[in-house]
């Protein structure tokens, strides 16, 4: 299952729940114009879902 999110700054991303790991994986990320912030952290922060129960990471392409 997956959830689609759109942000007002034009970035789009997808959260997919992987049953095998029990984790939400952030994919389809676009690198923000900020060299100081990790892409996954950026999107998780933007979506307001950073907490101890949700683990976000980038998928290897």
For 3-56, write each residue's pLDDT tens digit: 444 444 444 456 666 666 666 665 544 445 544 445 555 555 445 444 333 334
The whole-number pLDDT of residue 60 equals 36
Instruction: Supply the pLDDT for residue 17.
Output: 65
Count: domains in the chain? 1
Q: Strand (E) positions, the chain?
A: 2-6, 12-18, 23-27
Q: Which domain holds residue 13?
A: 2-47
Question: What pTM value is reported for the model?
Answer: 0.26
In a domain, 18, yes or no: yes
CB count, 10 Å around CB of 57? Answer: 15
pLDDT attached to residue 54: 39
Residue 48 gets the label, from left (phi > 0), alpha (psi -120 to 50) or beta, of left
* Residue 58 domain flag: no
* Domain-located, residue 11: yes
């Amino acid at each position: 299952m997956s959830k689609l999110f759109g942000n007002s700054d034009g970035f789009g991303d997808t959260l997919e729940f992987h049953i095998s790991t029990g984790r939400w994986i952030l994919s389809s990320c676009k690198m923000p114009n900020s060299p100081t912030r990790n892409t996954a952290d950026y999107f998780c922060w933007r979506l307001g879902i950073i907490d101890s129960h949700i683990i976000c990471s980038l998928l290897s392409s």
